[in-house]
Structure 1
Amino acid sequence: MKALRRHTLAKAIQLSLLVAVPGLAAAQDATPQQLDTVTITGSRIRQSDKVTSQPVSVITRAQIDQSGATSIGDFLQELTASGKALNAKFNSSGNFGYPASGGGIGAGSAQVDLRNLGSQRVLVLVDGIRWVNESSASGVSGSADLNTIPLAIVERIEVLEDGASAIYGSDAIAGVVNIITKKKFDGVQLHAKQGSYGHGGDDTEADITIGGSTEKFSGVFSAAFVDQRGISSSAWGQSSMPVPGAGLGAGSSATPQGRLTFCDPRIATAGTPGFCDPAGNDWFDLTLNNGATPNYNGGNPTTAPGTYHDWSGADRFNFAPYNLLLTPSKRKSLFASTRYDISEGLSFHAKALYNNRVSRNQAAPEPIFVGPFAGTGGIADTIVIAANNPYNPTQIALDPATNFGWVTRRPLELGPRLFSQDVDTWYVNLGFDGAFNAGARTLDWNVDYVHSENKAEQRFQNGFNVAKLKLALGDVNVCRAVPGCVPLDLFGGQARPITQAMFDYVTTDQRDASKQVLDLFSANLTGDLFDIGDRHAGFAVGAEHRKYQGDFNPDPLRQSGESQDSFAAPISASYHVNELYAEMLVPWLSTFSTDFALRRSQYSTFGGATTGKVGFRWQPMQDLVVRGTWSEGFRAPNLGELYGLTQFGATLVDPCGPTGTPGGAPQYRQRCTAAGVSPTFEQANTQITTFTGGNANLQPEKSKNYNLGFVWSPAWSSAWASRFDFEADYFHYKVTDAIQAPDIQALLNGCYDGSISGAACSGFTRGAGGNLNPPTDFLSNLGTITTSGVDVKVNWASRPMDWGQLTASLQSTHTIGFSAVDTDGNQTQQAVGIEVNDSAIPSWQSNLQLGWKMGDWNLGWDIRYVGAVREYCANAAKLPAANCPETLTIPGPNGTTVANPKFVPFAHLGATTYHDVQASWNHAFGMEGMKLSAGVNNLFGKDAPICVSCSLNGYDAGTYDLPFRFWYVDVQYKF
């Protein structure tokens, strides 16, 4: 048998680790007890002090069950320390292209962010070993997809809210999520769950767990199935009605009736016959009347419009009802874990997992943008619509070089864009562990090999081949000479739909694929190094080798620029890293200890890095522990950040917009005029194509962070409570050489208000009609990110009474500061209390859990609070808007305009509170092992605050819940 160290610790402090966890522990007496040594996330040294130098939250299986969560990601994103991360409420796959983060779209995935530092800065472990990063068919991400880990296999989750690069290596800058799987289980457990939002989104879950053990052997097998249905955006009035951020105010210029911007050289306009003014003074901007067929009579459309009228914002198309509020996902998994004791000091362990996810995103029918105003930087900008195209109502050549801005058309008759992902995850872990005696001491060791891969394919339906659009709109004789080519009608509106034969030629399915592979070898040794009195100084040393391989193979049409959706270049790359680490825990006094860690990493891509960590634990009295850490961190650039070239349809507000709009603020006018932009100019499309991609010259980002806090379990509370714990921690993170892309909106604004100049502004140029050409937004080691705040956690339980026992748990995070500043001193818009880029950092986030237990009955009431935030009205696509009721300018003297003193620069997104309730009945209906639960999340159907600058559905899907109640019934039966 292994020799295990034991020592005494006061009961209140034993429980303090669980302060961060609501409703965890049953009441216990205050008698000190002996504890076995265990390994706690954040250290590889086995120790008996439950309160270590760093803050760790332990989330039990009971907590997860009580939440009604469908995935690990759903649960973790509700932590108060959590920031924005992808989840099933994001429906942006293909709709915007590939964001500047370099991590791909992540369609259908669920990620976790801590401290608002990004999911790529959170390390996800499974049983203490790294998990493979996602692919999702859209790139090679630096983040793990938690939907690849089935909820059915989870025993508990440990969240380290502290940097840990010295312990675990790269990516652990913001913290660590360690998912502990079931390793020993005797019997059979059946589980089923059914839930619904009442507007779709039905959730069906079923899993079975079978396990058994003998003196030397233990094994667990689990099979699970989850079917989460989608919810159409049309089910919510915020999206289906013309409201700010989701309706006409921020709608698309691509409409079912079409839009045509051109100059007719046959018509004398502005006193210059036969000439098309490059400034657009004699250009027409027309749209077809509702229900009409084209009748362009060759005269001046202003005085003799035929069946057309001048385009205005009222003609914009509300695309939101065609999107999804909740994306569907179907997941199937198999998991097996086994352990065999070969001898007294040697054991073999193995785990294997297969997980399949089939998910889908949906967007409004793909708009066709043809002409230089499209601003794609590709083929679409160069298309000429021939005079002999049989559907061209002008009967003149529409040529980008002389007289053509664009034609747009939203073909509703084709149906929505569909993006379907099929993602397979394989994981195999083989290893040995054991113990041996070194003199009078016992040392524990383990070696592990892991092979894991995430492989994804995505099918994009109802997209267009731009090269075929060019043929079908060009010279009709050339088209008819090409097999299958049918002249295309973009001018007929809904009264003259595009025919199936036309669609058959210009539409095509597109298929993207990506894959990430992680191979890992690790070896660890831990034990006691020496004694100080009756105390043991522990140590841990180890080595690890990791090899990463990433491949992204976008559809050939994307690679050639022939996809109407977005451009993407392939990636196939790999790198490896070798690491050594050492850790020591020294108990100088019975009440005071320190721990130290050092890690050396050697990368094949950029060289070496060394990180360190120091922590202390001081227990000045039996019921109080003071703790703190200081650590260095680093994050190596991942494959998606190093390589590849893509496009992203950023929703930008042009500073040179018309006077009285967000972009037309007075501070921009001087430089807009100097750029040749008239006061009446309006950017043709707010979704401006941006070139994004990796940077092979990236270096690792570095960080320093410290935590200082205490855990107090007052002994005097035992007179009226079986448990009362209080915990508070101050945190501070500073990331330097941060890998990120510039805030493109802040950069654009700064270049036109004069606060930014020089090379930083060289990427903003203008083309046809004054429209912005596609800028670049590539990754670099941009600057510094700093954040700080306080975590407060309280746990209380009454003494058991005849009428039951009451419990209450509170977790609150107060984010004091957040800033991201580039090397030139330019600060991004992201800050505490600000909503920007579909992401908010509330000053306060709190979770309160109230519970009552009596016999086999449990009642729970969870209250989740998200503090108020503000958003910049200048980021809204249109004004006036509901939350920004004043216009930017008002009439001034002598026909001028001046700034409106009543203009509200910020929209207010009020504080939001959600209520979740659950009731459970153990041994239901007198059946031993049966547990029946029923609950409702978002009990009062709380709507998310309207966000006038948010994309798609007009709310921040990373911060707020869906607007509907989610009810569910859950049954577990173990025998």
Structure 2
Amino acid sequence: MGITHFRKAAVSVSVALACCGQVSIVYAQDGADNTDNTEIIAVTGSRIKRQGDTPSPVQELNLEDLNQTGSVSLGEVLQELPSVGASLNSNGSAGTSHGSSSLNLRNLGENRSLVLVNGHRWVNGAGTRGFRDFVDLNTIPQAIVKRVEVLQDGATAIYGADAIAGVVNIYTHSDFVGTSAKAYYGQSSEGDRETVNVDLLWGQDVGESNIMFAASYADQKPIYTQDRELTAVPLNGLSDGTPEGLFRESGLAAVLGFPIPSAGITRDPGSNGNDLSSWRAVTGEDQFNRYYNNYVTGPNERYALYGQAIIPLDDRLNFRIEALYNKRESDQQFSSALSSVRGGSRGFMIANDPRVNPFGIPFSGSDFRHTSFMEENGYRVNAQEVETTRLGLGLDGELNIGDGWDWDTFLSYGKNKADFTSNNQVHLDKLALGLRACDTTGITADVTDLAAGCVPVNLFNTLTAEMVDYINFTGRDYNEAKQLDFTFNITGSLYSLPAGDLAVAAGIEYREEQGLDVPDSTINSDPRVNTYQTTSSSARTGTDGEYDLKEAYVEFVIPLLDGESWADKLELSLATRYSDYSTFGSTTNSKAGIVYAPVDGFTLRATWAEGFRAPSILELYEGQRQTFAPVLDPCSSNKSLVGCSSVPASYTQGETNVQLTTGGNRFLQPETSENWSYGMVYIPDFIEDFSVTLDWYDIEIDNTISIFGAQAILDLCATKGKNCEVITRSASGEIEDIIDGPVNLNSTKVSGVDMVMNYGLETEVGEWDFNLNISKLRDFEVSSTLSDGTVQVEDRLGVAMLREAYPEWRSSFSTNWSQGQWKVNYNLRHIGDTTETVDPGTPDEMDRHIGTVIYHNASVAYDIDDNLAVKLGINNIGDKQPPISLTNPNINFDQNTYNPVGRFMYLQVSYQM
């Protein structure tokens, strides 16, 4: 593919307001002398150390904030921020994170939110069928984290690609001395979701050096669907099929002596299938709950070791080393494999042999079909074992060219490797041979290996252990993501201006990204006995891709006014970054910001920024694969729709989980964006320890890379007759496959408002801290070009969709009280109401309201002595369950937006010296 060059250079300034609630800027306690008392620090969103405000809104979560609800996962904490949308977590089984945890800032997708650790990039995740194109927060142990800064602004010019929605900068402890240990146990009020966590942190000064070591273990047990009323039975109905099996064959009527309905015949549970009198016609009651014993929330076990050393080499030079090993074990549990045995195009037959067939006739016609959940073969369990290794080496120091000039360089190598095991699948070729009573007559392919140890398989009765051992199959995939990153930065003051120093930061970066996915060779092999596929796991092609880029940036902070009667402070920030991709050529992206404080304590500030995101390796090169997703077929209830004219009148959707074919798109183009933010900061002199911030943002992404979505494809075809060619149906109307891969949509437009208020109060009855954080989504529009060239605009504001929701309001409130040895915390999390559309484009179409959800959490801590403390907490005090969602069939709720655990109680004991 030809190289496309993107060259943009622009500088634009606007005056506005910005946010700094829970901000990582340290304010002077004595307002009379900010110059002497305000700490000079580097804040996420700028490479320049400075005093006071920055143009960009930054929120900080300190150690106390991170431990407020007793979470043992960093992702669980950050996903509850009001500015974060639906994110991947441990909820559900089908189509979920496969054990990973993501962060979806501004609802714009996890691959548009940049995650840094100590200001440096972290390797992308792995552990599903194909690696990830975002950072898996479960690879970063919470035990090593001291604080987190969240930049809610575009930062491509400062940090490079992927920072369209914002940046999360995770800081580890840098100068820890002593020993800290934590033991934690919790479980839900239903007696499940047992969680154990043990953390150890040790640090020591050795001369001028500091050495730190951390070890962490966390184990979270699952919750099963039948253990919650909400998820016990899928709202979209049960599946056709039973463990005893539903059979259809044209010759059965003559054998059994009664008419055979289109659904076929079955037998009662526990009856003898070899006795023909056990068989009867299928009725509407012969259905099966395939989601019984699936996970509402899956298990996740993590081990981590981390070492860090900061060693001064002389008065002006420091050496830093970071090393991490993290291991995660997770799995998803599904129903037993659904039989894929059919005649005709799938080539299965059942021999007329009493060992495999009691009816005395062969089963081989095009109408032959067997539907059964093969319970004897066991639950399908897809397990991941993910290992993360990372090594970072850095130098930083001062330049001997004047005061305030610093430099740093850092080299990191990170790797995520994952073994993916698919347990209790079915080897369909072995099953096909077993149904032939192991007779290889007529099979032209070499099946010597399959015939060795072949066991005749009788589907008409309970499978024996020997049959199961023969047909059972375990698939093994391997995938990995690698990253090599080198940075060099320098910052200092160029000139002394009347209002202050003209500060500059500049640097270079070189980065390599690699991704590899190796699917199981047996799953990918061509079938030799049947003509469908070799195993019950879907075949897919592998992925092997890489790219590199070279970058350079420069940033300026220009003080314009200081201490004037009408301008206590006026400061301009400018930045630009040049990037050269091996895949797409070069691009230049810029950013500008302004800070204006007319009086001390009141600040107006704004930013404008260009953003850029190149397609990821996964989006470009992912091999084609089959997966499944729940959909509601509009043609099932309304054949008069324009896109349903070829669907038979007798068709009614049965199974809602349909097959999708996905894969990379080598013709994708990069995304570009324009971000505006403007707001206010108010810290009045007459109220001690009080601040309020208000922040507006407006983001527009062009060439948005997105998967259209199976439900959207079906709805568009049915109602508009567009893109129907990507849907494959059988002669009966049943959906056999939907092709859905990444494409460049026209644009995505998002705007909203954030407000953060903090207040601290000292009284005779203790110290109080209050925090209110509110996020309002004002607009969310996605535009896409259809196959006929027309543009479709989708308004998602206030809409609930499959596994994602866009509520207009999200908020949180917390208060902390402490006195002497006691500490009490109360926390509230609020998710606003939404509306889902059920059966779009049909006469039964309706808008269904999903109400507001509020979670209440509380904890009490007591310091037994100077070293030992105990904490008791309850999350979700009211045992609030997620709201029912009809657009999220099978599990019945939006698993990426709501917490299904219910009331959860925990006890934590900590020791520090």
Same fold (TM over 0.5): yes
State whether residues 254 and 369 of structure 1, in contact with CA within 8 Å, keep that contact through their aligned partners in structure 2: no
2:877 paired with 1:939: yes
Match of 2:577 among 599, 608, 613: 599
The alpha-carbon deviation at position 351 of structure 1 amounts to: 0.8
Match of 2:321, as an amino acid? Answer: A
What SS is found at the alignment partner of 1:469? helix
Change in 2 beyond 3 A, CA 1:615/1:769:
same
State whether residues 419 and 479 of structure 2, in contact with CA within 8 Å, keep that contact through their aligned partners in structure 1: yes
Change in 2 beyond 3 A, CA 1:652/1:372:
farther
After TM superposition, the structure 1 stretch with the greater mean CA deviation from structure 2, 704-713 or 317-326, is 317-326
Unpaired segments ≥5 residues, structure 1: 1-14, 97-104, 274-280, 298-304, 374-379, 658-663, 877-887, 889-898
State whether residues 868 and 910 of structure 2, in contact with CA within 8 Å, keep that contact through their aligned partners in structure 1: yes
State whether residues 190 and 208 of structure 1, in contact with CA within 8 Å, keep that contact through their aligned partners in structure 2: yes
Q: CA RMSD in A?
A: 2.7
Listed one character per residue, the Cα deviations across residues 398-440 of structure 1 (whole Å, up to 9, x for unaligned) are 446x323x311112233211222211111111111111133x4
Match of 1:201 among 193, 197, 203: 193
CA distance in 2, matches of 1:565, 1:436: 60
2:698 paired with 1:735: no
Partner of 2:458: 489
Match of 1:911 among 825, 828, 852: 852
How many residue pairs get aligned? The number is: 866
After TM superposition, the structure 1 stretch with the greater mean CA deviation from structure 2, 70-79 or 189-198, is 189-198
The alpha-carbon deviation at position 714 of structure 1 amounts to: 2.5
Partner of 2:534: 562
State whether residues 289 and 309 of structure 1, in contact with CA within 8 Å, keep that contact through their aligned partners in structure 2: no
After TM superposition, the structure 1 stretch with the greater mean CA deviation from structure 2, 958-967 or 388-397, is 388-397
Partner of 1:132: 123
Listed one character per residue, the Cα deviations across residues 629-660 of structure 1 (whole Å, up to 9, x for unaligned) are 11111111121111111112122222221xxx
What SS is found at the alignment partner of 2:400? strand
Partner of 1:48: 51
Match of 1:735, as an amino acid? Answer: I
Listed one character per residue, the Cα deviations across residues 186-216 of structure 1 (whole Å, up to 9, x for unaligned) are 1111221111114221111112211122552
State whether residues 348 and 432 of structure 2, in contact with CA within 8 Å, keep that contact through their aligned partners in structure 1: yes
What SS is found at the alignment partner of 2:537? coil
Percent identity for Structure 1 against Structure 2: 31
CA distance in 2, matches of 1:225, 1:773: 44
CA distance in 2, matches of 1:553, 1:972: 43
What SS is found at the alignment partner of 1:947? coil
After TM superposition, the structure 1 stretch with the greater mean CA deviation from structure 2, 730-739 or 127-136, is 730-739
CA distance in 2, matches of 1:354, 1:780: 36
Partner of 1:745: 711
The alpha-carbon deviation at position 738 of structure 1 amounts to: 1.4
Match of 2:775, as an amino acid? Answer: T
Partner of 2:470: 505
Partner of 1:69: 71
The alpha-carbon deviation at position 628 of structure 1 amounts to: 1.1
Partner of 1:628: 606
Change in 2 beyond 3 A, CA 1:53/1:310:
same
2:596 paired with 1:618: yes
Match of 1:807, as an amino acid? Answer: D
The alpha-carbon deviation at position 388 of structure 1 amounts to: 4.6
State whether residues 359 and 422 of structure 1, in contact with CA within 8 Å, keep that contact through their aligned partners in structure 2: yes
CA distance in 1, matches of 2:263, 2:61: 63
Match of 1:646, as an amino acid? Answer: R
Partner of 1:651: 630
Partner of 2:638: 665
Match of 1:384, as an amino acid? Answer: M
Listed one character per residue, the Cα deviations across residues 479-535 of structure 1 (whole Å, up to 9, x for unaligned) are 898222223233x3xxx3111111111111111111111111110111112222140
Match of 1:230, as an amino acid? Answer: P
CA distance in 1, matches of 2:735, 2:298: 33
Change in 2 beyond 3 A, CA 1:698/1:772:
same
Match of 1:237 among 200, 214, 229: 229
Listed one character per residue, the Cα deviations across residues 420-471 of structure 1 (whole Å, up to 9, x for unaligned) are 2211111111111111133x44421111110111111122211111222222
CA distance in 2, matches of 1:394, 1:777: 43
Change in 2 beyond 3 A, CA 1:416/1:153:
same
CA distance in 2, matches of 1:767, 1:321: 28
CA distance in 2, matches of 1:689, 1:194: 40
CA distance in 1, matches of 2:165, 2:846: 32
2:727 paired with 1:764: yes
2:908 paired with 1:970: yes
Partner of 2:656: 686
Partner of 2:528: none
Equivalent residues in 2 for 1:415-564, closer than 5 Å: 415-438=378-401, 440-474=402-436, 476-478=438-440, 482-490=451-459, 492=460, 496-560=461-525, 561-564=533-536
What SS is found at the alignment partner of 1:472? helix
Match of 2:405, as an amino acid? Answer: L
Match of 2:896 among 936, 939, 958: 958
What SS is found at the alignment partner of 1:425? strand
Match of 2:821, as an amino acid? Answer: D
What SS is found at the alignment partner of 2:739? coil
The alpha-carbon deviation at position 150 of structure 1 amounts to: 0.7
Partner of 1:921: 862
Change in 2 beyond 3 A, CA 1:634/1:263:
farther
Match of 1:946, as an amino acid? Answer: I
The alpha-carbon deviation at position 294 of structure 1 amounts to: 4.6
Change in 2 beyond 3 A, CA 1:295/1:947:
farther
CA distance in 2, matches of 1:736, 1:396: 62
Partner of 2:38: 35
CA distance in 1, matches of 2:708, 2:352: 43
Match of 1:840, as an amino acid? Answer: A
State whether residues 250 and 367 of structure 2, in contact with CA within 8 Å, keep that contact through their aligned partners in structure 1: yes
Match of 2:781, as an amino acid? Answer: S
CA distance in 1, matches of 2:846, 2:113: 34
After TM superposition, the structure 1 stretch with the greater mean CA deviation from structure 2, 587-596 or 769-778, is 769-778
Listed one character per residue, the Cα deviations across residues 799-822 of structure 1 (whole Å, up to 9, x for unaligned) are x22112333211111111212221
State whether residues 91 and 324 of structure 1, in contact with CA within 8 Å, keep that contact through their aligned partners in structure 2: yes
CA distance in 2, matches of 1:921, 1:28: 29
Match of 2:576, as an amino acid? Answer: L
Change in 2 beyond 3 A, CA 1:579/1:823:
same
Partner of 2:281: 309
Partner of 2:800: 835
Match of 2:616 among 635, 638, 644: 638
State whether residues 783 and 794 of structure 2, in contact with CA within 8 Å, keep that contact through their aligned partners in structure 1: no
Partner of 1:175: 166
Listed one character per residue, the Cα deviations across residues 210-255 of structure 1 (whole Å, up to 9, x for unaligned) are 1122552111111111122222222112223x352xxxx4332242
CA distance in 1, matches of 2:890, 2:196: 27
Q: TM-score, normalised by structure 1?
A: 0.84
Partner of 1:100: none
What SS is found at the alignment partner of 1:166? helix
Change in 2 beyond 3 A, CA 1:243/1:544:
closer
Change in 2 beyond 3 A, CA 1:765/1:55:
same
The alpha-carbon deviation at position 28 of structure 1 amounts to: 5.2
Match of 2:349 among 384, 397, 417: 384
The alpha-carbon deviation at position 386 of structure 1 amounts to: 4.1
Change in 2 beyond 3 A, CA 1:666/1:508:
closer
Match of 1:746, as an amino acid? Answer: A
The alpha-carbon deviation at position 765 of structure 1 amounts to: 3.5
What SS is found at the alignment partner of 2:111? helix
Partner of 2:543: 571
Equivalent residues in 2 for 1:879-890, closer than 5 Å: none
CA distance in 2, matches of 1:689, 1:956: 20
Match of 1:221, as an amino acid? Answer: F
CA distance in 1, matches of 2:192, 2:28: 41
The alpha-carbon deviation at position 856 of structure 1 amounts to: 2.6
2:175 paired with 1:192: no
CA distance in 2, matches of 1:653, 1:702: 34
CA distance in 1, matches of 2:643, 2:19: 59
The alpha-carbon deviation at position 311 of structure 1 amounts to: 4.5
Change in 2 beyond 3 A, CA 1:852/1:826:
same
CA distance in 1, matches of 2:248, 2:51: 74
